[in-house]
Each structure stands twice: as C-alpha cells, then as structure tokens.
C-alpha cells in the first residue's frame, strides 16, 4: 500500500514543481516579457485564484469519477497546459495558460489527499496524508531551485516544457499504481450544508488561507528579496531555494511521523511558529548571507509540514466530509496564495521589499490564534457529545 501512495507523492511533486517554478523564475520572466515583478506576481495570483474558485465545484462535479481516472486526467491536463505555457507568445497568453493549468492542480491536490485516506486504515491516515504531501516538499528541494537555475540558464520556456514532461510521466505512474474502481462518497447538497454548518471545521480551513496569505506575501517575491537584501546571483538564489526545500522535506517528515502521536493541531502550530519566527527576524538578514541561510532553513522547516497537518486535521474532524473539506482547504491554500501574491505586489510597488516581511508575519500570527481557537471549539463540542 505504501508503494501505491508514492505515486500520489510523485504526482504532488509534479504539481508543486509547476506551481513553484514561477517565483523562482521571477527575474527572468520580468526581463524577457518586459513586465514588472508585480505582473509576474499576477501569474501566481491568477493561478491561485482559479484553483480557489473552481476547486469546490470540481470536487462536486467529479465525485462520481473513479479516483484513478480522475487523478491521471488531472495530471495529464496539467502537463498539456505547461506545454501551452511554454509556447505562449506574450504575457496575456501565458496568463491564460496558467489559469487553465490551475484546473489540473485544483483537482489533484485535494483529491490525492482524500484518496490516500481511502487507501489506508484510520490509525495511519495522518502519516499517509503526510507522505502524499511530501511531494510538495520534494518539489521545493528539487523543483524550485532547479527551476530557478534552468530559468536563468536555458530560459523559462524550456523550463515550463520540462515541468509538463514531469507531470506526464507521473500521470502514467498514477494510472499504474492507484487501484481501479476506487470511489468516494458522492458530494450532494446535504454534505455541503453539513460542512458549512460545522464552525470548528470552517475555522480550521480558514487557518490554511490566513497562513498562506502571510507565506506568499513574501515568498512570491523571494527571488527579488534575495537580490535586494544580499545581492544574490541566480546561482545563489537557486541555492537558497535548495536550503529552503531541504528543511521543508525534514519538517514534512518530522510532522508526518509525529502527526498520529501528538495530533495535527500541534504539528500545524509548530510549523506556523517556525515561519513566523523567520519572518519576524528577516530584517536581520540584510547584507548577511549566514543570517539569510539560517532564516531560510527555519522558514522551510514549517512551510510544507503545515499542508499535511491541515489535511489530516480536516479528514480526522469529519471523515464523511473529507472530499469536500480537503477540496475547500485546497481552495483556501490558493486563496491565500492569490491574496498574498497580490498584497506583496502592492507592497513592493509602493514601499519596496524592505517592509514586506511584516506583511507576512502579521497574518501568520493570526493563523496560529485561529488554529488554537478552532481546536478549543472542537474539543468543547466533543466533550458535550460525550456528556
């Protein structure tokens, strides 16, 4: 069963690589297309907002499709749209291609987690979902720095093409590894009503959006920040993304191992605490490569662990609503990403990169508070049900 889960991990690696290469190629896209960094940020925002808006609808519309066909088709679409992006003649065509690419991510990211939950016993569900989201961490280690490096050395078009090839290869892996005739409970109006009536569940989902707002306000423009703060070259930027990804994998592995022991809420709060600490201390990195590396490592430690912990938390809170909740949570991730990229673009246009970390730290602190409050409400509800 663990071997089959790895196909979903690799699928998420392809999705994560396709998402994360754009921040890594920010400087190259800006120069080649003669657009501002804020316009490159709009590529991130439009991608994320497409997933945010379409994710819940796609979850309902595709709930009757067997999981193998659905997940393979999502990756195949993702691959094709990357190839379209590579051939884009101008910025607006690229923007449209990225929005179409987002449809594949909207389906795969959420439904891979829900599918993993169906394939393992409940007592190891948290570990299984953490394993599936390890793909995002691997994308940060391998995909993002290589994307940044290739974008600078062979161009952004071939880099998009290679990301499409990666998605196509792993689509074949999903088709071969995921068992056929695997279905989820159909998502009808009653299920959506139950979801939107569950206050602790909705608050838990909101944590995802708030922390992603803080994260992507800064991370979307990390290549520019590194250039401004320490004069980083494309090679140094690639190495910084590599450092980020190494601790991203480490944090994800630690979080997955601890998930079923200490609970996903504690794992999530610890992950957000790492990111909050890095953002709060970021002004100290100005002109200092060692401090920059240390804070990048701390930031990465929490960045990807939060995704797995949130998905496991939602599946555990209401297993019958898992397909809907993880889909809505996926929308929340990308809503935060879109809002963060937009906010960051406004800030760097009006104030530069110097004050950007504070715009990331404040939402991250708020997300920790909301997470603890949602956990308290859920605990009180459980105690009332037992009584």
Q: Could you read off the pLDDT of 194-249 as tens digits, one per residue? A: 888 899 999 999 999 999 999 989 988 888 899 889 998 888 888 888 888 888 88
Helices (H), the chain: 2-24, 26-32, 37-61, 67-86, 91-119, 125-138, 144-153, 156-177, 189-196, 199-219, 222-230, 234-262, 264-281, 289-303, 305-317, 322-350, 356-386
The pLDDT, as a whole number, for residue 354 is 84
Cβ of 133: how many Cβ atoms within 10 Å? Answer: 30
User: If we measure between CA atoms, which residue out of 236, 382, 252 comes closest to residue 312?
Assistant: 252
Mean pLDDT score across all residues of the chain: 87
CATH class of 2-386: mainly alpha
pLDDT-derived band at 188, boundaries 50, 70, 90: low
- Cut 0.85: pTM above it: no
Residue 182 structure tokens: 């695997």
Rounded Cα gap, residues 343 and 341, in angstroms: 6
Give phi and psi for 351, each to the nearest 5.
-125, -10
The pLDDT, as a whole number, for residue 72 is 95
- 66 by Cβ neighbours in 10 Å (0-12 / 13-18 / 19+) ranks as middle
- Per residue in 355-368, pLDDT (tens digit) is 889 999 999 999 99
The pLDDT, as a whole number, for residue 183 is 74
The pLDDT, as a whole number, for residue 58 is 84
The CA–CA distances, whole Å, from 360 to 184, 302, 304 equal 36, 14, 16
Residue 199 structure tokens: 């206050």
The residue length of the chain stands at 387
Contacts of residue 6, defined as CB under 8 A and 6 or more positions apart, other chains included, come to: 131, 177
105 neighbors 51 (Cβ within 8 angstroms) = yes
Residue 330 structure tokens: 């996926």
Choose the weakest-confidence range: 15-29, 106-120, 297-311: 106-120
For the CA atoms of 358, 363, 364, 366, the dihedral, rounded to the nearest 10 degrees, stands at 130
Q: Give domain limits for the chain.
A: 2-386
59 neighbors 111 (Cβ within 8 angstroms) = yes
Res 185 pLDDT > 70: no
- Per residue in 76-87, pLDDT (tens digit) is 999 999 999 999
Residue 216 structure tokens: 């992507």
Choose the weakest-confidence range: 62-66, 243-247, 286-290, 294-298: 62-66
Axis crossing angle, helix 189-196 with helix 199-219, rounded to the nearest 10: 80
Residue 113 structure tokens: 């987690």
For the CA atoms of 378, 379, 382, 386, the dihedral, rounded to the nearest 10 degrees, stands at -170
Res 137 pLDDT > 80: no
């Amino acid at each position: 069963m663990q071997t089959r889960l790895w196909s979903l991990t690799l699928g998420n690696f392809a999705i994560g690589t396709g998402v994360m290469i754009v921040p890594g190629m920010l400087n190259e896209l800006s120069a080649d297309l003669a657009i501002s960094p804020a316009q490159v940020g709009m590529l991130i925002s439009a991608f994320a907002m497409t997933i945010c808006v379409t994710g819940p609808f796609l979850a309902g519309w595709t709930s009757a499709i067997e999981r193998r066909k659905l997940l393979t088709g999502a990756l195949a679409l993702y691959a094709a749209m990357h190839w379209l992006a590579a051939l884009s003649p101008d910025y607006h065509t690229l923007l449209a291609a990225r929005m179409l690419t987002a449809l594949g991510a909207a389906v795969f990211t959420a439904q891979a987690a829900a599918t993993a939950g169906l394939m393992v016993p409940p007592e190891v569900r948290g570990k299984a979902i953490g394993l599936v989201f390890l793909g995002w961490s691997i994308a940060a280690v391998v995909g993002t720095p290589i994307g940044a490096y290739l974008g600078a050395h062979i161009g952004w078009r071939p880099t998009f093409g290679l990301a499409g090839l990666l998605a196509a290869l792993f689509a074949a892996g999903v088709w071969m590894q995921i068992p056929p005739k695997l279905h989820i409970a159909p998502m009808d109006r009653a299920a959506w009503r139950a979801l939107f009536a569950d206050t602790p569940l909705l608050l838990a989902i909101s944590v995802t959006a708030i922390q992603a707002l803080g994260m992507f306000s800064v991370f979307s423009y990390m290549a520019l920040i590194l250039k401004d703060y320490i004069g980083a070259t494309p090679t140094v930027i690639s190495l910084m993304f590599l450092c980020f990804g190494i601790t991203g994998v480490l944090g994800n592995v630690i979080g997955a191992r601890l998930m079923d022991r200490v609970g996903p809420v504690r794992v999530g709060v610890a992950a957000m605490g790492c990111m909050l600490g890095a953002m709060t201390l970021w002004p100290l990195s100005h002109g200092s490569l060692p401090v920059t590396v240390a804070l990048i490592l701390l930031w990465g430690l929490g960045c990807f662990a939060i995704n797995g912990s949130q998905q496991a938390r939602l599946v555990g809170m209401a297993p019958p609503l898992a397909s809907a909740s993880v889909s809505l949570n996926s929308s929340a991730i990308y809503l935060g990403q879109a809002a963060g990229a937009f906010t960051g673009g406004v800030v760097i246009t009006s104030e530069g990169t110097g004050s950007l970390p504070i715009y990331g730290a404040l939402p991250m602190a708020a997300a920790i508070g909301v997470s603890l409050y949602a956990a308290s409400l859920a605990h009180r509800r459980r105690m009332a049900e037992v009584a």
